[in-house]
Amino acid sequence: MVKLNPHRFFDPDTTVRRIAAELYDTVKDMPIISPHGHVDPKLFADNRPFPNPAQLFIIPDHYVFRMLYSQGIPPAILGVPTVDGSATETDPRKIWQVLADHWYLFAGTPSGIWLSHELYEVFQVSCELNSDNAQKIYDELQEKLNSSEYLPRALFDSFNIEVLSTTDAAEDDLQAHQEIRKSGWQGNVVPSFRPDSVTDIARPDWLMSIQKLSLIIGKEITRYSDLVDALKYRRKYFIENGAKATDQGVLSPYAHLLSEDAAETIFQRALNREQTSADEEAFIAHMLMKMAEMSVEDGLVMQIHPGVLRNHNRIIFNKHGLDKGCDIPIQTEYTKNMQEFLNRFGNELNLTVILFTLDETVYSRELAPLAGHYPALKLGPAWWFNDSIEGMTRFRETITETAGFYNTVGFNDDTRAFPSIPARHDVARRVDANFLAGKVARHIISKSDAETIIRALTYDLVKKAYKF
């Protein structure tokens, strides 16, 4: 068995390392709260075995195949499905071998760290992956995947997950969530409300999503006010099914309330697919305001994920579709873009708005000063490309002095890769422990304060922020 160093990721300085290890020990076995992510709830409704290592670790993980593609390995060779159904590699053993042959590319990356944790801690394979032993390890993994201990629900329990939130479209019927509840299994899996498909009129499939939403509410949506009613209705339904939060992905966090008439006019143009790009920007900005209004009413926590230019590489997008590793961050401005939003909603004492960014330049300049003032505003953890040892460390280093610890909300794994959940939470706990240990060793905070804070970052703050 491969043993990962128990003090991994801690500072080499012996004082800091010792304190980090002590702090980490107090939280390493705490339950996982996963308040935001993209695991498919069907996994737990069906509770079927994962088919094979390639299907589990490679084919659905854009972190993995984007890196392989950057070195010239096309997604089709890795079995990534195509939009038109054209052939891709179907032999999972061959796909697995490609990963093993290029394992060196992942040195120093979060993907490398997570996969190592999965292989050596979760699946406890017998030796370190390399080209030569790739098929032997494949066999070991396949054997485990066939066993009952590695079924999704069994893993959920062994991962010590207290609650897992999925992300679900406004028009989703939440059938998988209902099946989970009906099944009698005690795992706490709840939905989150993501309205982008019906609020983002720029999407090519927006009309189709509106039609789906019409179907599910049993009433045709022909006016802007119908959409608002539908959203309220669906939010209620999500809340009945356990949802605590919403989530919106927007190119810019710009928010601005339109008059009802102006919103209606744009909505009608959108129905005819005649909206301008100014219409699109205005409507999305308007819907951020409306969603906050609804959150003030119904208590759902509001998450905002801005600043990604999706599907930057049209060749990959046209061949393989969404979420294929070609989403690229852009510079994102919050101070001016969110002024109307924060003036209207930032002072609400019983609203929580959790803001994320991929643009690290705003941590110290904009986000920490905003979160260090507005009571409704909290900062989500280092996101996506920044969900890494150095990325999380930079987040704490640039946020803490202005926003403190208590205007942040603990960790989100944000993953599609279910077996990576313990790895991701473990890295976050180690990084936070190490960050705090550095502060203790420099006499900036006391050891006993650090003990309270590490628990808050691991558990208390996330539970409070997301109202679990």
Question: Scanning residues 404 to 433, which ones bind a copy of itself (CB under 8 A)?
Answer: 404-407
Half-sphere exposure of residue 393: CA atoms within 13 angstroms, side-chain side: 15
Q: How far is the CB of 129 from a copy of itself (least distance, A)?
A: 12
For residue 134, give both structure tokens: 């790739």
Comparison of 4 and 83: residue with beta carbon closer to a copy of itself: 4
Neighbours of 345 (CB within 10 A): 23
User: Given candidates 50, 57, 374, 395, which one binds a copy of itself under the rule CB under 8 A?
Assistant: 374
Q: How far is the CB of 312 from a copy of itself (least distance, A)?
A: 6
User: Given candidates 159, 233, 385, 468, which one binds a copy of itself under the rule CB under 8 A?
Assistant: 385
Residue 366 binds to a copy of itself (criterion: CB under 8 A): yes
Residue 441 binds to a copy of itself (criterion: CB under 8 A): yes
Residue 339 binds to a copy of itself (criterion: CB under 8 A): yes
Q: Tokens 């990576």 sit at which residue? A: 420
Tell me the site size for a copy of itself, rule CB under 8 A.
89
Which range, of 184-192, 208-216, 279-287, 309-317, touches a copy of itself by CB under 8 A? 309-317
Residue 302 binds to a copy of itself (criterion: CB under 8 A): no
Q: How far is the CB of 46 from a copy of itself (least distance, A)?
A: 32
User: Given candidates 88, 248, 400, 415, which one binds a copy of itself under the rule CB under 8 A?
Assistant: 400
3-state secondary structure the chain: CCCCCCCCCCCCCHHHHHHHHHHHHHHCCCCEEECCCCCCCHHHHHCCCCCCHHHHHCCCCHHHHHHHHHCCCCHHHHCCCCCCCCCCCCCHHHHHHHHHHCHHHHCCCHHHHHHHHHHHHHCCCCCCCCCCCHHHHHHHHHHHHCCHHHCHHHHHHHCCEEEEECCEECCCCCHHHHHHHHCCCCCCEECCEECHHHHCCCCCCHHHHHHHHHHHHCCCCCCHHHHHHHHHHHHHHHHHCCCCEEEEEECCCCCCCCCHHHHHHHHHHHHCCCCCHHHHHHHHHHHHHHHHHHHHHHCCEEEEEECEECCCCHHHHHHHCCCCCCCEECCCCCCCCCHHHHHHHCCCCCCCEEECCCCCCHHHHHHHHHHCCCCCEEECCCCHHHCCHHHHHHHHHHHHHHHCCCCECCCCCCCCCHHHHHHHHHHHHHHHHHHHHHHHHCCCCCHHHHHHHHHHHHHHHHHHHCCC
User: Given candidates 15, 126, 131, 160, which one binds a copy of itself under the rule CB under 8 A?
Assistant: 15
User: Given candidates 28, 40, 46, 66, which one binds a copy of itself under the rule CB under 8 A?
Assistant: 66
Residue 143 binds to a copy of itself (criterion: CB under 8 A): no
Q: How far is the CB of 370 from a copy of itself (least distance, A)?
A: 6
Q: How far is the CB of 382 from a copy of itself (least distance, A)?
A: 10
User: Given candidates 60, 92, 195, 325, which one binds a copy of itself under the rule CB under 8 A?
Assistant: 325
Comparison of 106 and 418: residue with beta carbon closer to a copy of itself: 106
Residue 32 binds to a copy of itself (criterion: CB under 8 A): no
Which range, of 4-12, 50-58, 187-195, 261-269, touches a copy of itself by CB under 8 A? 4-12
Half-sphere exposure of residue 8: CA atoms within 13 angstroms, side-chain side: 14
Residue 402 binds to a copy of itself (criterion: CB under 8 A): yes
Residue 388 binds to a copy of itself (criterion: CB under 8 A): yes
Half-sphere exposure of residue 375: CA atoms within 13 angstroms, side-chain side: 5
Residues between 85 and 124 with contacts to a copy of itself, criterion CB under 8 A: 104-110, 113
Strand 189-190 relative to strand 193-194, pairing: unpaired
For 228, list phi and psi in degrees, rounded to 5: -60, -45
Beta bridge partners, 248, equal 304
Residue 356 binds to a copy of itself (criterion: CB under 8 A): no
Q: How far is the CB of 126 from a copy of itself (least distance, A)?
A: 18
Residue 439 binds to a copy of itself (criterion: CB under 8 A): yes
Q: How far is the CB of 452 from a copy of itself (least distance, A)?
A: 7
Q: How far is the CB of 4 from a copy of itself (least distance, A)?
A: 8
Half-sphere exposure of residue 290: CA atoms within 13 angstroms, side-chain side: 23
Comparison of 236 and 312: residue with beta carbon closer to a copy of itself: 312
Q: How far is the CB of 51 from a copy of itself (least distance, A)?
A: 27
Comparison of 267 and 356: residue with beta carbon closer to a copy of itself: 356
Which range, of 89-97, 203-211, 257-265, 356-364, touches a copy of itself by CB under 8 A? 356-364
User: Given candidates 30, 100, 271, 445, which one binds a copy of itself under the rule CB under 8 A?
Assistant: 445
Comparison of 168 and 280: residue with beta carbon closer to a copy of itself: 280
Query: Rounded distance, CA 141 to CA 124, Å?
Result: 9
Residue 67 binds to a copy of itself (criterion: CB under 8 A): yes
Residue 256 binds to a copy of itself (criterion: CB under 8 A): no
Comparison of 183 and 364: residue with beta carbon closer to a copy of itself: 364
